[in-house]
Structure formats: structure tokens, C-alpha cells
Copies of this chain bind each other. A is one copy, B any other.
Amino acid sequence: MRNNESSEDYLETILMLSEVKPVVRSVDIANELGYKKSSVSVAMKNLRERNMITVTDEGYIYLTEDGKKIADMIYERHKLISEWLIKLGVDKKVALEDACKVEHDLSEESFSAIKKYILGKTKA
């Protein structure tokens, strides 16, 4: 199977939600991703055990330094790829869906090459 696509998605979602909401809870993640609360609960337990998040007594979820690093990386990819696809004329909804998948699959090397290329072309 694939790497940590599922975990990466959760971390990215926590980051995205934290930009919009004052606090992020399991329920918020479940609503955002369209998953059941139980699925998110198990996933959060897993992320907690791997020191990717911390959870307060009130159930507020925060990214650790390690978790933030991954979330930032995936989110950067998400934004760059989706914006590029939209610029190429792809429907916004489709572009976002595709970015959500591609963002997990590129190596660091390929992504930075694409990034350099896209930014170069855009600025010029």
C-alpha cells in the first residue's frame, strides 16, 4: 500500500481548519473530511502516539512541531498544485480533488523541480 497518505491528510486538514477556526476538534475533522467520528478518533489516537499532535482535556487538537512540518509540506503542495491546475484551465473543484491526491505522491525532488518551474514561469 501507500505511505502515510491518510495521516498526511489528517495533518493537513488540522492545519487548514486551524486557519479558519479558533480550535480544532475531532468532530470538525470528521465533518471536513466526511468521515465518521469513530474513524477520526482512532486516527487521532494514532497521530497522538506518533507525536504528531497533542490533544487537550477539552479535546482541542494541536499540531506538534513534527506534525506541523508534515502539514506545512503537504499544504504547500496542495496550494501550489491546485492553483497551477486552475491556471491551466482545470475546473476548480476538479483541480482541488486532484491536488489532494497528487500532493501525497511526489518526492521532495520532483516537487521542488515542479515548484521552481511553475514559479519561474509565473513570475516571467
Binding site for B on A (CB under 8 A): 2, 85, 88-91, 94-95, 97-98, 101-102, 105-107, 109-110, 113-114, 116-117
Q: How far is the CA of A124 from the CA of B122 in the complex (A)?
A: 17
For the complex, would chain A's binding face be called helix, strand, loop or mixed by DSSP majority?
helix
Q: How far is the CA of A85 from the CA of B101 in the complex (A)?
A: 18
Closest 3 CB pairs of A and B: A101-B105, A88-B113, A98-B110
* Residues of chain B with a CB closer than 8 A to A116's CB: 88
* Residues of chain B with a CB closer than 8 A to A110's CB: 85, 88, 90, 94-95, 98
Interface centre among A90, A91, A107, A110 (most CB of B within 10 A): A110
